[in-house]
Structures are given as structure tokens and as C-alpha cells.
Amino acid sequence: MPACPIRRPGPAFPPQKGKEPAKEVTPMADHTPPRDPLASLFRDVVLVLGGVFAVRGTDDETVRRIAGGLDRAYRRARGAPAKPAPTTSLAPHPAIAALLRLTDDEGVAP
């Protein structure tokens, strides 16, 4: 598996003679995370997945399906109506099953 590149501190663009360094436009870096813990967690999950998709070159259809599933999960958690999920009889990947067990171990009560 190729290593993930580590960004060096400082501007991404080399300084130009007699001009101020160019400012990199990164909407994710400029965004202040929401204060709501659920929205904050959801944002972190979306950013992690987005990073994996970008590095791995995931196809658009897969990204759209995952985004649709996350949209339904977020709306359900917020108590808002969402489109029903398509029916399927597939078993989860073992890594996903392990994450689901982690949440099951937490229990329902605080």
C-alpha cells in the first residue's frame, strides 16, 4: 500500500519575487467545525471517507452510494425523514462488522 503524503508546513506554492505568497484555497481547512457533537462526528467521518476516496481513486458510483447511505443515517439520527434504503441481502465486510460490534458493545443506555 502506498504511503500517504505528509504535507509540509508553510505555503503550498513557492513565493514569487516581489509578491506576497499565494494563499491556498481549502474550504475544509477554513471551516469551523459545528458545535453539535453529532454534526461534528458526522463531519469527521465524511472527511475521513473523502480522504480515503481521494487517495484510492474510488469510482463516482461508489462515492454516491456511500454518500446516500450517510445522508440517510444522518437524517435518521436527526429525526428527519429520509428516502428508504435499497434492499439488499449482502453481509458486511469483516472490518465493518467489527466496527458495528464496537457500537453494539457500547449499549443503548449511557
pTM of the complete model: 0.53
Residue 30 lies in a domain: no
> How confident is the model over 10-36, as a mean pLDDT?
60
pLDDT for residue 103 is more than 60? yes
Q: Report residue 71: phi and psi, to 5°.
A: -60, -45
Report the alpha-carbon distance of residue 76 to residue 42 in Å, rounded: 12
What pLDDT was estimated at residue 55?
Answer: 92
Identify which of 12-21, 65-74, 85-94, 95-104 has the greatest average pLDDT. 65-74
pLDDT for 70 beyond 80: yes
Confidence class for position 102, pLDDT limits 50, 70, 90: confident
Please report whether residue 16 resides in a domain: no
Domain range for 72 is: 35-79
Nearest to 46 by CA among 81, 78, 71, 24: 71
Is residue 5, in this structure, part of any structural domain at all? no
Residue 64: inside a domain:
yes
Residue 47 lies in a domain: yes
- Does some domain include residue 48? yes
DSSP state letter for 18:
T
| 54 occurs within a structural domain | yes
Give domain status of residue 39, yes or no: yes
98: which 3 cell numbers? 467489527
Counting the structural domains of the chain, the total is 1
